[in-house]
Amino acid sequence: MHDMRETGSISDRLSEKGYRLTPQRLMILSAMESSHDHISAEEIYAQVAAKYPNVNISTVYRTLELLKKLGMVYEIDLGEGRIRYHAEGSGHHHHLVCQDCGDVVDIDESALSSLKDILLRDYNFRAELRHVAIFGFCEKCRKKQSGGGGKK
């Protein structure tokens, strides 16, 4: 319900700003809306092309660039060699990404608020931490690395 409202407002805001809501643009928005996770341009393209076979993937890239410029989507590199996107409406959050198994865990925005405070206090830098991927190793993989036994 929350997602529907927020994503609905993206298309509203697009048309308020004078952008035409072409069927392709609406399809791209609805692909992002129906994805409860981050979606890549390739995945969006696959969904749009299923309905509009003539759509070019560059249309998807252009639309994502536009939405990004307007601050309506955030992109994140989860270390897979491609960028994923999610709509602004799904809220600010960060990710813990396991470099070994690729597992991604969502963490609350507030988890990095003390880092923000430190950066401001010690470096006089106001960090915009809206969508950050932190790389490391999950518990499972650390256990595997240490030989799977009780060592370490």
If binding is defined by CB under 5 A, does position 100 make contact with Zn ion?
A: yes
CA distance to 48, 72, 84, 124, per residue, from 56 (Å): 9, 22, 18, 45
Tell which one of 9, 83, 141, 143 touches Zn ion (CB under 5 A): 141
| Cα–Cα distance measured from residue 48 to residue 42, given in angstroms and rounded to the nearest whole number | 10
| Cα–Cα distance measured from residue 58 to residue 151, given in angstroms and rounded to the nearest whole number | 51
Tell which one of 21, 101, 105, 120 touches Zn ion (CB under 5 A): 101
Tell which one of 14, 98, 104, 132 touches Zn ion (CB under 5 A): 98
In this complex, which beta carbon is closest to Zn ion, that of residue 55 or of residue 103? 103
Q: Which residues bind Zn ion (CB under 5 A)?
A: 98, 100-101, 103, 138, 141
